[in-house]
Structure 1
Amino acid sequence: MEIVLVDDDPIVILLQKKLMQKAGISHQIISFNNGEEALSFLTDKGNENKYLMFLDINMPGLSGWEVLDEFEKNNKGLELKVIIITSSIEDADRLKAKTYDRIVDFWVKPFSLQDFVNLKVNYGL
């Protein structure tokens, strides 16, 4: 499984990588600072790999929701699970996340080492 990080804040991406390392998650990690690059990367992939994507929903350009919508239009065969990473505490965002089959979790920033330890256990990383 490859891990894809998508966040417009490079500090958040760095923190995620460090916490994954401390939690013992050693899978390949690919990061993008915008939704357009992440979407392009996933669109070019075949169905040979599984992906777990940490996706920020509030980004300039394509939002996380728009990335998911565009992905669904073109890549239904790719095995992709998504964890939403957001600073939003709006119930509307949590409810919207439940309408996407690919979304498996919803994390509000800031997150902790324990979040990644739990992730490792829950997804066998």
Structure 2
Amino acid sequence: MKIHEILLIDDDSVTNFVQKKVIESEFENFSIEVFQNGLTAIDYIHKNPKKSYLIFLDINMPVMNGWEFLEAITNDKYFYNLKVFILTSSLDLSDMRMAEKHQLGSSFLVKPLKREVLKEIKLNYGVKNAI
């Protein structure tokens, strides 16, 4: 899978700072965009429809949470090339079940994100270098 950009969607700026550093350590030469809620991320995707995205999505956020983001983007899934990983601190079993069932959710990852998990993602999904 050719990835043009990585999107980190989470409302916690400290978490975003740490997670971005971890992602950068494994995905060198990739552009990483950070969004505080799902709505601003959807707007960005709509404005850049030709890119392929690897998305790390938090569940609990203001304005538009992770589940609302998934529902909104699912309507347009045929127009975009997305690989979505739910990245959350939630240990709620209902969240895990919803993530497993959702057609766009590739996996349920628990914060903090680890390099080993990113290596697996690159391997399992055949992520190739950015342009």
TM-score, normalisation: structure 2 = 0.84
Task: Quote the Cα distance in structure 2 between the aligned partners of 1:88 and 1:38.
Answer: 21
Alignment of 1:4-83 (within 5 A): 4-46=7-49, 48-83=50-85
Q: CA shift at 1:24, angstroms?
A: 4.4
Taking the aligned partners of 2:123 and 2:77, their CA distance within structure 1 comes to 28
Amino acid at match of 1:37: T
Measure the CA separation in 1 of the matches of 2:22 and 2:109. Answer: 14
- Structure 1, unpaired ranges of 5+: none
The question of 1:102 aligning with 2:104 is answered yes
Residue aligning to 1:117: 119
How many residues align structurally?
124
Q: Does the CA-based 8 Å contact 2:83-2:106 persist in structure 1?
A: yes
Deviation at 1:41, TM superposition (A): 0.8
Identity of aligned residues (%): 35
Conserved 8 A contact 1:55-1:82:
yes
